[in-house]
Chain A
Amino acid sequence: MNAVTRRLRSTGGLGIVVLVLVASLPLWFIQTNFVLSVATLSLIFMAASLGWNVISGFGGQISFGHSIFFGLGAYTTAILQVHYHLNAYLGMLLGVVVAVVLAVLLGAVTLRLRGIYFSLATFALTLVFAILTGHYEGFTGGEVGLTLPLLGDAPGEFSFENKVTFYWIAMVLAALAFVATWLVLRSRLGLQLRAIQADQEAAQASGVLAFQVKLTGLAISAVPAALAGSVYMQYVGFIDPDSAFGATLATQIAVIAFVGGAGKLWGPVVGAVILVPLQQLLNSSLSAYPAGFNLVVYALVVLVILWIEPRGIMSMRMRRRRPRPPAGGAPPQVPDLEPAAAVPTSREAG
């Protein structure tokens, strides 16, 4: 167990093991289309959630609007492809540009808000995007949505007959997003984002340009979300306002990270691996029950996990190690008479 824990901590080694396992999955596991589709979607939403982790997990600015960037990635690619016959890869790139520009513009307004007000603003904004895309029908296809032309096997146009190809593309996307967030976490930006989350005033007193740092964090965090949207679009071939900007996706990107562990490098990975298959399974297996029953079960599972460990699954193993006395580096502590000086003991519930 201890060896496993140590292995888990050295992210690099584990990353390669996971990558090899996941990459070879189709060869010995994923045989049915259903499982393949679930695995591909898991990786796509994992990438979006990894992006979310940068501004919300590290920076503490909880976004319930990352669907905006996902949706912009999806719609930009689709609109350019359908209306202007632009190359799909170019569309994907432009989708990222549009998402980053919007992240900066929206962030300039919303990032001045603190705490729950920022969260509410982002949530309201994604619903506004849903309404707008529904409204400008000529361009977006309105409530009906946009369908990509069927191109058959055209790798140059991001179109593949073999769905396993999409699985590998999604895997590369998730791996890139993971490496990107890992680099952010190790960087100056990552440290400053974490400081802002811990105590923004103290960070500012230490010279952190809080607003710029948060804006940069939001712009970076929009990139994986937009790419995830583009890949989703190419994979599914169809998008409508609700699946792009709706409340379900908006909350799902955040909930994946919360369940896995917001602010933890592996949080979105673990969360996506558990929640997306669960959601897909419930959708297909409970379809005979009254509408919404699958959502109730899904919500219950999320609640139980967060009830057991509010900081997410990645914190569960940390908890068991906690009661051990602090490491030997510190000098032995003389009991202190001053109550104010008492070191807070870890408050473990059970």
Chain B
Amino acid sequence: MPGPLLRVEGLTVRFGGLVAVNDVHFTVDEGELLGIIGPNGAGKTTMFNAVAGAVRPTSGSIRIGDELVSGKPPERVARLGIARTFQSVRLFKAMTVRENVTLSASTVCPSMAAAHARADEVAELLGMTALRRIRVEELPLADQKKVEIARALALRPRLLLLDEMMSGLNQAETRDLIGVIKALNGDGLTTIVIEHVLRVIMELSHRVLVLDHGVRIAEGPPREVMRDPRVVEAYLGRSAAQNLGEPA
């Protein structure tokens, strides 16, 4: 039997005196969709950064398959099949949609012709073929977020990391994006989703991991985790009371 696709063990990230991620363990199985929630500043993004190689772990190990990821620079991690989006959209603004997606395809395709073909394929998959020639800075936020997903998909990732994709989107756009993420995962793409909006996490995730102050305080199926008293206290006790009812 194959082991989990991603295995994170004893992950700790310190920024000076601040422990942003504190001895976190978790695994993600092939084809699974893991949700990560936690209040602002809980260390969710930092954990993504560590997995993606953008931040060096203070200690602990991260593996994808048998391959050690921790300690590798982000471009190597990307080529190992871990693709990510950024919490605040970080596209190449002055470039067109096609150029943005071709760029990441160009790092894994043997030729530019193959990279263009890959980019067009991904654009079609996400229903963005009509937008190919538009410069991304001219697109509405919801489309920009989709371009971020497209850029990540062009790498043919084994694992997709999505950081708060729904922030700043209205209800219809959120619905649309949930559909996209579900469809990708339905096709077998292993995904980790960080979300602030609990409703989204409840709908998407097979399993949920809860972080608070860098510590894993709960993990399990969405419904059970939401009833966990520690989660209710960490989450509702502070900033996020509005998130339960909020349509984003």
Which A residues contact B (CB, under 8 angstroms)? 187-188, 191-192, 194-195, 198-199, 201-210, 326-327, 329-330, 333, 336-338, 340-341, 343-344
Contacts and interface: CB of A to CB of B under 8 A. Distances in A.
B93 A198 contact: yes
Contact of B108 (A207, A210, A326): A207
Given A199-B90, A206-B151, A192 B103 contact: yes
Contact of B102 (A191, A210, A343, A344): A191
B155 interface: yes
Given A195-B103, A206-B151, A341 B137 contact: no
Interface in B68-107: 73-75, 78-79, 83-84, 86, 90-95, 99, 102-104, 106-107
Interface stretch (B166-174, B204-212, B217-225, B237-245): B166-174
B106 A327 contact: no
Nearest to B154: A206
A199 B107 CA distance: 16
Given A338-B169, A340-B141, A209 B131 contact: no
A206 B131 contact: no
Nearest to B73: A204
A210 to B, nearest CB: 7
B69 to A, nearest CB: 13
Interface of B: 52, 54, 73-75, 78-79, 83-84, 86, 90-95, 99, 102-104, 106-108, 112, 115, 130-131, 133-134, 137-143, 151-152, 154-155, 167-170, 173
A276 to B, nearest CB: 29
B84 A205 contact: yes
Contact of A340 (B94, B99, B168): B168
A330 B107 contact: no
Contact of A326 (B54, B130, B138, B151): B138
B106 to A, nearest CB: 5
B104 A341 contact: no
Contact of B107 (A198, A206, A337, A340): A206
A204 B137 contact: no
A65 B112 CA distance: 32
B78 A205 contact: yes
A194 B95 contact: yes
A343 B140 contact: yes
Given A204-B54, A204-B78, A208-B75, 10 more contacts: A191-B99, A195-B103, A202-B90, A204-B75, A205-B86, A329-B133, A330-B139, A338-B141, A340-B167, A341-B142
A327 B134 contact: yes
Contact of B170 (A194, A210, A336): A336
Nearest to B88: A340
B26 to A, nearest CB: 21
Nearest to A189: B106
A341 B86 contact: no
B95 A336 contact: no
Contacts of A209: 75, 107
A187 B106 CA distance: 10
A341 B169 CA distance: 7
